[in-house]
């Protein structure tokens, strides 16, 4: 009996220890990765702003928007979403691998460049690593999304959203969800895992370009003003 009690007691201690370690790991995943990722992403945004400030100054339409081929993993734009707060600014990097999404929002390689005809498609985490798209489900029709580059501000307006399976890659087609159709519009597609804390589905938001503004001229007053809270 003593041996049995000792064995059961030992097993109980092991289970308690395992539970504590699991809770610590979850806390690290949900909190500490956000702390470190936010620090890295804020630093990248500030580096981009310094680089942008040294870029082309005129309003010439001949200024190159972005290089024809952005190196994989390189940050080249900033996404600003007023619905997520006046100070919301996250870097956009080329590629959507796990490592890249730890450092910001990822651009699906092969999709359009910011402001171009076609579909500029990006992905971001909803949980962990700064969760840049944590509140993607709060976006409403008409909400503004600004993609800031070295030469221009591209202002998009949200049109609609869908929830799809991870295999439904037609959402990033040149014409969203219409594979094979020749694009004439200028789209922005945002994707993130759904529901929160799961990768079972994808939450997708589609937005369409309203206007592009030369960086030297800046954005019209109020463009980045926070909209009314979603009801």
Tally the C-alpha atoms within 13 A of residue 143's C-alpha that lie toward its C-beta: 24
Domain residue ranges in the chain: 45-214
Report the phi/psi class of residue 110: left, alpha or beta, with left for phi > 0 and alpha for psi in -120 to 50. Answer: left
Residue among 103, 94, 161 at smallest CA distance from 128: 103
Work out the average pLDDT over 105-119.
98
pLDDT at 37: 82
- Show which residues are catalytic: 125, 193
pLDDT at 33: 66
Decide: residue 6, CB within 10 A, 0-12 exposed, 13-18 middle, 19+ buried: exposed
pLDDT at 89: 98
What is the overall mean pLDDT for the chain? 86
pTM, entire model: 0.83
Q: Report whether 40 contacts 99 (CB < 8 A).
A: no
Rounded Cα distance, 56 and 63, in Å: 7
Decide: residue 34, CB within 10 A, 0-12 exposed, 13-18 middle, 19+ buried: middle
* DSSP bridge pairs for 80: 146
pLDDT tier at 69, thresholds 50, 70, 90: confident
Summarised one tens digit per residue, pLDDT across range 25-66 is: 445 555 556 778 899 999 999 999 999 998 664 444 444 455
45-214 classified as CATH 2.40.260.10: yes
């Amino acid at each position: 009996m003593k041996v049995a009690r000792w064995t059961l007691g030992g097993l109980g201690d092991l289970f308690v220890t395992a539970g504590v370690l699991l809770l610590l790991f979850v806390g690290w995943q949900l909190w500490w990765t956000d702390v470190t990722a936010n620090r890295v992403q804020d630093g990248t945004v500030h580096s981009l702003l310094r680089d942008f400030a040294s870029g082309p100054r005129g309003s010439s339409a001949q200024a190159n928007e972005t290089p024809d081929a952005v190196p994989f993993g390189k940050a080249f734009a900033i996404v600003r979403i007023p619905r997520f707060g006046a100070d919301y600014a996250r870097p956009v990097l080329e590629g959507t691998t796990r490592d890249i999404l730890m450092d910001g929002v990822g651009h699906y390689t092969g999709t359009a460049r910011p402001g171009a005809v076609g579909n500029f498609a990006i992905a971001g985490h909803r949980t962990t690593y700064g969760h840049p798209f944590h509140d993607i489900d709060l976006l409403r029709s008409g909400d503004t999304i600004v993609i800031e580059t070295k030469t221009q501000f591209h202002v998009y307006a949200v049109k609609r959203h869908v929830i799809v399976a991870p295999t439904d890659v037609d959402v990033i087609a040149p014409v969203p969800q219409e594979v094979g159709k020749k694009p004439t519009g200028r789209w922005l597609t945002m994707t993130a895992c759904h529901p929160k804390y799961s990768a079972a589905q994808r939450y997708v938001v589609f937005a369409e370009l309203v206007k592009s503004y030369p960086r030297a001229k800046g954005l019209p007053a109020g463009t980045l003003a926070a909209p009314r809270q979603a009801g």
